[in-house]
């Protein structure tokens, strides 16, 4: 396992001619080339799964933050992933928990002035199937140590690429500051602690990528 950070976003889809998740990730990758590998995933359950697994196997990151687009104007910290029906032939648990210090992620979003809620419903679309793929890979191979998913709003007069990149960059930098812990899987369990962020359930989001 390396000390690399893998961050992913999605390609444009449906009415979203620009996918804010990828635009934010791309900018983070440009600004942090020594640490961050940014990759764009297709909006297709199996194709996204295959590309993510290739990236994980090739780069062996200690940290992986996947991002996707929500139609909401609020950032969503996704704590769990449910196995999609499209993966019925793939072995794995029905539900997997993310592995991240959720309090820390929420705090970094507050610092970046990004409105955020904690969610236990990643949408049952390609975003959630990709998150499940990440967590199933981690369960099987023991890395990345930190694995999480962040839904980001579409671009608007309020939400800019700079805002999304700042949010993701803050989240990653906070984990890199604790890099010695991230390279020791037998250290503290990153997925257990409670979060002091808003714990209200996120509303159903129909558009994701």
Which neighbouring-strand residues pair with 69? 152
Is residue 45 within 8 A of residue 126, CB to CB? The reply is yes
- Looking at 35, 45, 76, 151, which residue is catalytic? 151
Match 């996707």 to its residue by tokens: 68
What is the rounded distance in angstroms from the CA atom of residue 72 to the CA atom of residue 59? Answer: 32
Q: Where are any strands of DSSP class E within the chain?
A: 5-10, 36-41, 63-69, 75-78, 80-82, 95-97, 116-119, 146-152
Torsion of CA 17, 19, 24, 29, to 10 degrees: -90
- Looking at 104, 127, 128, 170, which residue is catalytic? 127
127 belongs to the catalytic site: yes
66 belongs to the catalytic site: no
- Looking at 23, 78, 104, 128, which residue is catalytic? 78
Q: Which of 5, 8, 14 is nearest to 71 (CA)?
A: 14
What is the rounded distance in angstroms from the CA atom of residue 114 to the CA atom of residue 108? Answer: 9
Is residue 112 within 8 A of residue 166, CB to CB? The reply is yes
**What positions carry a catalytic annotation?**
78, 127, 151
């Amino acid at each position: 396992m390396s000390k690399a950070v893998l961050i992913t976003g999605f390609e444009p889809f449906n009415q979203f001619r620009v996918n804010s998740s990828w635009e934010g990730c791309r900018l983070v990758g440009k600004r942090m080339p020594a640490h961050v590998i940014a990759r764009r995933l297709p909006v297709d359950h199996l194709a996204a799964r295959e590309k993510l697994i290739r990236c994980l196997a090739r780069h062996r990151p200690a940290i992986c933050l996947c991002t996707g687009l929500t139609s909401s104007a609020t950032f969503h910290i996704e704590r769990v992933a449910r196995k999609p029906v499209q993966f019925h032939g793939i072995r794995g648990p029905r539900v997997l928990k993310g592995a991240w210090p959720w309090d820390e992620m929420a705090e970094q979003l507050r610092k970046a002035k990004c409105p955020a809620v904690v969610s236990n419903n990643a949408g049952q679309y390609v975003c959630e199937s990709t998150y499940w793929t990440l967590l199933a890979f981690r369960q099987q191979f023991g890395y990345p140590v930190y694995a999480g998913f962040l839904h980001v709003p579409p671009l608007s007069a309020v939400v800019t690429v700079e805002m999304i990149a700042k949010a993701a960059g803050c989240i990653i930098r906070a984990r890199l500051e604790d890099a010695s812990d991230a390279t020791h899987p037998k250290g503290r369990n990153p997925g257990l602690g409670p979060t002091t962020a808003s714990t209200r359930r996120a509303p159903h989001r129909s558009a994701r990528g």
